[in-house]
A = this chain, B = another copy of it.
Amino acid sequence: MTGPIEYVETQRVRLFTAETPLRLRSGRELAEVDVAYETYGELNEARDNAIFVCHALTGHAHAAGLHLGAKKRGWWDNIIGPGKPLDTDKYFVVAPNILGGCSGTTGPLSVNPATGEPYYMDFPLLHMSDLVQVHRALVAHLGIEKLYAGVGGSLGGMQILQWVIDQPDAMAKAVIVAASSRISTENIAFSSVARTAIMSDPEFYDGRYVEHDTVPRLGQKVARMMAHITYVSDVSLDDKFGHRRDSVGEEMQMEPDFAVEHYLQHQGEVFLDRFDALSYLYLTRLLDYFDPFAAPETAERLAATETTFQVTSFDSDWRFDTRQSMAMVEQLEAAGVAVDFAELHSTYGHDSFLLQPPGYHDRIAGFLNRA
């Protein structure tokens, strides 16, 4: 295969059924679980060249290439493709949508077979291990016994960590970027404000807004605008927008005027179309409770793994800051796991993991290609 990835399609498979339900950490069961996913490159005969990509909070399966008729390439197209770090000439890359999401994989708006209507807030609260279980089933479905690597940023990186804890022989290499083994109190605080905005919105209707043919527009938009600020950095906002504004001269106005305001309004608006408020509630809540090293068996399980880890943070990322990555690295090393850790310089904040700050892609390629 040569040239960039062109047309791809999202596939969908039912991995759990009424006969073989997904049993969650909480004890609850999901009788039907579908998973949306894409693949790039070819699985080799030995079936040992698969790289599994785990997306962040609001991601989806369309990680690379183009959908038919679309203009926008997948969300991680800069790193997946022929000759790129996740080199599809060498590797078979799998990118799914996560459990609890809203882009093809089962989530709160999926139909509960027991009632024939969407789960809404009756959808069970999820543990990171539940997401891992679904992805393990996808790996098995694809006929892969062991992954060459798991790669994830933010929530995706945290999922990779949980995966190795739950299944120490799951993958040879684990690449974790801009993540945490236990998010900061500040991080919980921001998500809590976002959930308050959504759940207090009069259009939320206890999560049954779809029945009312609406969405909690105010809450979801405000949640995203706020979160967006936390995904970038003060320096990048200064660089990109400064105090540029639309109105001229001395005139002030209460309505959005500065370029950064219009930008945030736009980010908030498009988020209403591309993501679901219930998924936002469930997935942020999952992050709040994520704390794998609180479990006494975690260190023991990690001691059994031969997986080597690469952990990367960015110096301007203040939502998942280096302090959090360092804590994870210390926990991993205390469990006897080999970790290649670096903090990279970038002005782009948490979003750096989706971009190409100097040294970042080379660092991942180097780790993946190392024998």
Contacts and interface: CB of A to CB of B under 8 A. Distances in A.
Interface string A18-38: 000000011000000000000
B192 A260 contact: yes
A46 interface: no
Nearest to A255: B199
A285 B201 CA distance: 24
Contact of A265 (B121, B196, B240, B268): B196
Contacts of A185: 234, 237-238, 240-243, 258, 260
A281 B229 CA distance: 19
Interface stretch (A147-155, A170-178, A217-225, A355-363): A217-225
Contacts of A127: 252
B234 A222 contact: no
Interface in A175-191: 182, 184-186, 188-190
A323 B235 CA distance: 10
A111 interface: no
Contact of A189 (B201, B217, B264, B281): B264
A339 interface: no
Interface string A217-261: 111011001100100011001101111000000101110101011
A241 B125 CA distance: 23
A189 B229 contact: yes
Contacts of A281: 254
Contacts of A285: 252, 254
Contacts of A282: 254
A218 B185 CA distance: 23
B189 A252 contact: no
A121 B253 CA distance: 11
Interface string A255-291: 0101011001100100000000000011001001101
Contact of A218 (B192, B197, B260, B288): B197
Contact of A225 (B196, B240, B318): B196
A55 interface: no
Contacts of A182: 243
A325 to B, nearest CB: 14
B189 A237 contact: yes
A195 interface: yes
A195, A200, A268: most-surrounded residue (chain B CB, <10 A): A200
A31 to B, nearest CB: 21
Given A186-B229, A190-B226, A196-B222, 17 more contacts: A25-B250, A185-B234, A185-B237, A185-B242, A189-B229, A192-B256, A192-B264, A193-B225, A196-B225, A196-B264, A197-B222, A202-B202, A222-B222, A226-B226, A243-B291, A254-B282, A258-B288
Interface of A: 25-26, 121, 125, 127, 182, 184-186, 188-190, 192-193, 195-197, 199-202, 217-219, 221-222, 225-226, 229, 233-234, 237-238, 240-243, 250, 252-254, 256, 258, 260-261, 264-265, 268, 281-282, 285, 288-289, 291, 318, 321, 323
27 contacts: A125-B253, A182-B243, A184-B234, A184-B237, A185-B237, A185-B241, A185-B242, A185-B243, A186-B234, A192-B258, A192-B260, A193-B226, A195-B254, A196-B221, A196-B265, A196-B268, A197-B222, A200-B217, A200-B221, A200-B222, A202-B202, A202-B218, A218-B219, A234-B318, A243-B291, A252-B289, A258-B288
Closest 9 CB pairs of A and B: A185-B237, A186-B234, A125-B252, A192-B261, A193-B225, A200-B218, A197-B222, A185-B238, A186-B237
